[in-house]
């Protein structure tokens, strides 16, 4: 069900939510958090779909905030979505124009679930220091996405300079499967130390350098990373090579969605390695409400140890 509230106020939206729960039987008792999504006009449906899918694992209230023309007449339009149009969540879409969008904190404070954690997500354009913004100050977790920035590589390099506990980025979330697979390999015979490592990925892949920084931090050995030309590899991480006394262990994607693991003296293994969707990344980040300490160390300590990327010969 979708309820439109043109030219409204936060108090009227709150009363409408209460009325919907009383008349339709929808309840907020099972909501475990409030997710605030700061996005732009025209890009809201994709992120709402991702939030609706994630809500089946994390029932929540979703507040989608879009700020319009600052010079226009002050006006707040809202839309409430529940039931089949909102998954297991309540979705409140706010479109603020003119002076109505000048104080984002006042727009969302009255709509937050009481005594529930708040997570802020900037799926597109992101403030330079999210933790110091009005939304960032009221959120326990703050999610950004390096891949949506104009210069993903530069954005990743800046993450450590403004890191605050509770920050995270989808560039880090997208390397979870790689980290799990590499950790599993090193936990199996022959239990040899890693002498050095190389990570290769697409030129627009911020996850490549983050995976390299994680390896540098955790292994304590030289790690290099290379960006490949777009003609050779279009998106994401291409391969990880671990040099060990018995030979190289290589985890490589010959094509999108598939990875091949090769180790000395063992047959190669084909692995399902699809690129993670926006829904999967969001659902994973909503599983934890405490600061991701490892992420903080990777973008500060690991990044300082890593150094600059190498030029690819490919």
pLDDT tier at 314, thresholds 50, 70, 90: very low
Highest mean pLDDT among 11-20, 95-104, 192-201: 192-201
- Residue 25: is its pLDDT beyond 70? no
- Residue 311: is its pLDDT beyond 70? no
Which of 96, 69, 71, 84 has the alpha carbon at shortest distance from 7?
96
- Residue 74: is its pLDDT beyond 80? yes
Which of 15, 17, 123 has the alpha carbon at shortest distance from 61?
17
What the block records as the tokens of 282 is 């969001």
The residue whose two tokens read 């326990």 is 140
* Percentage of residues of the chain with pLDDT beyond 70: 95
Give me the mean pLDDT over the 105-121 stretch: 94
Distance of CA 22 to the CA centre of its chain: 35
pLDDT tier at 85, thresholds 50, 70, 90: low
Q: What is the pLDDT of residues 138-189, one digit of tens each?
A: 999 999 999 999 999 889 989 999 999 999 999 999 999 999 999 999 999 8
**Domain 176-311 indexed as CATH 3.30.360.10:** yes
Q: In the chain, where are the structural domains located?
A: 2-144, 176-311
pLDDT tier at 27, thresholds 50, 70, 90: low
Between helix 176-186 and helix 206-219 the angle, nearest 10°, is: 30
Tell me the β-bridge partners of 3. Answer: 80
Summary mean pLDDT of the chain: 91
* Percentage of residues of the chain with pLDDT beyond 90: 72
Taking the C-alpha atoms of residue 27 and residue 288, their distance in angstroms, rounded to an integer, is 23
Q: How far apart are the first and last CA of the chain?
A: 53
Give me the mean pLDDT over the 82-104 stretch: 85
pLDDT tier at 70, thresholds 50, 70, 90: confident
Q: What is the pLDDT of residues 272-303, one digit of tens each?
A: 999 899 999 999 999 989 999 999 999 999 99
Give me the mean pLDDT over the 9-23 stretch: 89
pTM: 0.92
pLDDT tier at 312, thresholds 50, 70, 90: low
pLDDT at 119: 97
Which of 197, 223, 206, 227 has the alpha carbon at shortest distance from 314?
227
pLDDT tier at 102, thresholds 50, 70, 90: confident
Who has greater pLDDT, 309 or 292?
Answer: 292
Give me the mean pLDDT over the 18-36 stretch: 75
Distance of CA 192 to the CA centre of its chain: 34
């Amino acid at each position: 069900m979708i309820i439109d509230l043109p030219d409204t106020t936060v108090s009227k939206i709150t009363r409408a939510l209460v009325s919907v729960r009383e008349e339709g039987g929808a309840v907020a008792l099972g909501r475990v958090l409030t997710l605030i999504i700061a996005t732009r006009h025209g890009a809201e449906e994709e992120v709402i779909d991702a939030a609706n899918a994630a809500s089946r694992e994390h029932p929540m209230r979703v507040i989608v905030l879009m700020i319009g023309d600052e010079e226009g007449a002050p006006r707040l339009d809202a839309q409430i979505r529940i039931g089949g149009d909102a998954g297991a969540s309540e979705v409140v879409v706010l479109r603020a124009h003119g002076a109505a969008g000048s104080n984002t904190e006042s727009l969302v404070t009255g709509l937050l679930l009481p005594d529930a954690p708040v997570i802020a997500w900037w799926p597109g354009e992101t403030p330079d220091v999210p933790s110091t913004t009005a939304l960032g100050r009221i959120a326990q977790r703050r999610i950004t996405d390096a891949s949506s920035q104009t210069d993903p590589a530069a954005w990743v390099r800046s993450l450590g300079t403004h890191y605050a506990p509770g920050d995270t980025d989808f560039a880090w979330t997208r390397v979870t499967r790689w980290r799990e697979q590499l950790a599993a390999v090193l936990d199996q015979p022959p239990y040899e130390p890693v002498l050095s490592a190389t990570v290769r990925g697409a030129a627009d892949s911020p996850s490549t350098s983050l995976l390299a920084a994680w390896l540098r931090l955790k292994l304590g050995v030289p790690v290099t990373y290379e960006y490949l030309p777009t003609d050779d590899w279009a998106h994401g991480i291409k391969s990880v090579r671990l040099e060990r006394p018995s030979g190289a262990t290589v985890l490589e994607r010959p094509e999108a969605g598939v990875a091949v693991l090769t180790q000395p003296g063992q047959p190669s293994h084909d692995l399902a390695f699809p690129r993670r969707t926006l829904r999967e990344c969001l659902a994973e980040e909503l599983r934890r409400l405490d600061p991701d300490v490892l992420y903080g160390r990777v973008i500060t300590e690991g990044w300082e140890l890593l150094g600059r990327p190498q030029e690819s010969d490919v």
